[in-house]
Amino acid sequence: MTAPALTTRGLTIGYRRRRKGDLVLARSLCLELARGRLIGLLGPNGVGKSTLLRTLGGLHPALAGRVRLAGHDLARLSPRALARQLSLVLTFAPQPALMTGYGLVALGRQPQSDWLGRLGDVDHAAIAWAISAVGADELAASPLAALSDGQRQKLMIARALAQEAPVMLLDEPTAYLDLPRRVETMQLLKRLAHSAGRAILVSTHDLDLALRSCDQLWLMSATGVVTGAPEDLVLAGALGETFDAAGFRFDQDSGAFIQASSPGRLVCVRGGGAQAIWMRRALERSGYALSDEPGAINVARRNDGETGWKLTIAGRASAHSTIQSVLAALEDGGA
């Protein structure tokens, strides 16, 4: 395995404050970003994900410790030398007027170009490759104002690619995109990490997507950063520790957060298939506890040939055509 593209040693991040003493968000971090990997940075809101990314990206000074980038101390690199090692994508894609997609991606060549920013054949080739790599060929000639948020973000990623820096940091790049666009972006980043050999660190709130796409996760909580393969972290319960909060818990089986069950009444749903799964979700959502054994309240598909549900409360049965009707009857009967 090659040397990591970026390492931190004893890195402490946070904010210098004059009066109240420094606000430390994380202390003594020793982290590594390897080439060819997509790494997801996860953590609850306000824990310092953005600060960590911005510190690694040189936008924010570290309180202590150092970041080494391709063998150089980050703090000593000139802005231009840094830009050749590290590219950045932020949550918002800017929308400068009168700029085309091509013009935007071309800005990624600034670390390589001369004082006036003139582009040579090599530069144009890199821009064209980056645009193709993100699948934005048809966007190149369009003015940015005519593009959607997702399309602009795609071009911003292409711009970071055109920069040809071994490390790419992305701060919640998908926060304002719809689900298909988010999936598409994560797949794109994964492909780029693997095929172009970049070390890509992406912070996201999309836990499910991160679990499915990332080669490695950095879980950030108030106590520090835990790293590892997503599956290892799930099984070790690290995800639960990082995210568990009142009312929610991480379900290892489903790999998703569910509402922690409150002391609600037990309901037994019999049967299987999509119908039963969604009935169970509805009951959970409404605060009922699910039971596998028949009890005082039972719900089952109607067995008289009609579609719908049969609800039995303390032996009294009623028929319902929708889930909503079942929930309403439960509420009435449970008063």
Partner 1 sequence: MAGADRARQAISPSSREFAGARLYVLPALLILLGALLLLSLALGSAAIPLDQILRALLGGEADSPAWTNIVLKFRLPKSLTAMLAGAALGAGGLLMQTYFRNPLAEPFVLGLSSGASLGVALIVLTSGGVGGALLAGLGLAGDLLLTAAAGAGAALAMGIVLLVALRVRSGVTLLILGLMFGYLVSAMVSLLLYFALPERIQAYINWTFGSFGGVTVEQLPILASVTLGGLLLSAALIKPLNALLLGDEYARSLGVDLPRTRCGIVLAVALLVSAVTAYCGPIAFIGIAVPHLCRGLLASADHRLLLPGTCLTGACVAICASLIAELPGNNLVLPLNVVTAILGAPVVMVVVLRRARGIA
Closest CA to 112 of 89, 135, 144, 87: 87
Closest CA to 291 of 315, 311, 264, 266: 266
Q: Are 55 and 65 in contact (CB under 8 A)?
A: no
Q: How far is CA 225 from CA 4, 168, 231, 272, 319, in A?
A: 18, 19, 16, 41, 53
Is residue 116 within the footprint of partner 1 (CB under 8 A)?
yes
Q: Are 33 and 6 in contact (CB under 8 A)?
A: yes
Instruction: Work out which of 6, 31, 86, 200 binds partner 1, going by CB under 8 A.
Output: 86
Is residue 16 within the footprint of partner 1 (CB under 8 A)?
no
d(CA 145, CA 89): 19
Find the shortest distance in angstroms from Cβ 99 to partner 1. 4
Query: Residue 142: exposed, middle, or buried by beta-carbon count in 10 A (0-12, 13-18, 19+)?
Result: middle
Find the shortest distance in angstroms from Cβ 5 to partner 1. 16
Q: Which is nearer to partner 1, 29 or 90 (CB)?
A: 90
Instruction: Work out which of 5, 7, 102, 234 binds partner 1, going by CB under 8 A.
Output: 102
Site string for partner 1, 23-52 (x = CB under 8 A): ------------------------------
Q: Which is nearer to partner 1, 107 or 319 (CB)?
A: 107
- DSSP, collapsed to helix, strand or coil, labels residue 296 as coil
Is residue 197 within the footprint of partner 1 (CB under 8 A)?
no
Hey, what are 90's tokens? Answer: 């932020």
Q: Which is nearer to partner 1, 164 or 297 (CB)?
A: 164
d(CA 93, CA 144): 10
Is residue 329 within the footprint of partner 1 (CB under 8 A)?
no
Instruction: Work out which of 6, 11, 26, 90 binds partner 1, going by CB under 8 A.
Output: 90
d(CA 257, CA 44): 13
Stretch that binds partner 1, among 39-47, 101-109, 229-237, 270-278 (CB under 8 A): 101-109
Site string for partner 1, 143-162 (x = CB under 8 A): x-x-----------------
Closest CA to 54 of 19, 26, 13: 13
In the range 49-78, which residues lie near partner 1 by CB under 8 A? 57-59, 78
- Where do contacts with partner 1 occur on this chain (CB under 8 A)? 57-59, 78-84, 86-88, 90, 94, 96-100, 102-104, 106-108, 110-111, 113, 115-119, 124-125, 127-129, 131-133, 135, 137-138, 140-141, 143, 145, 163
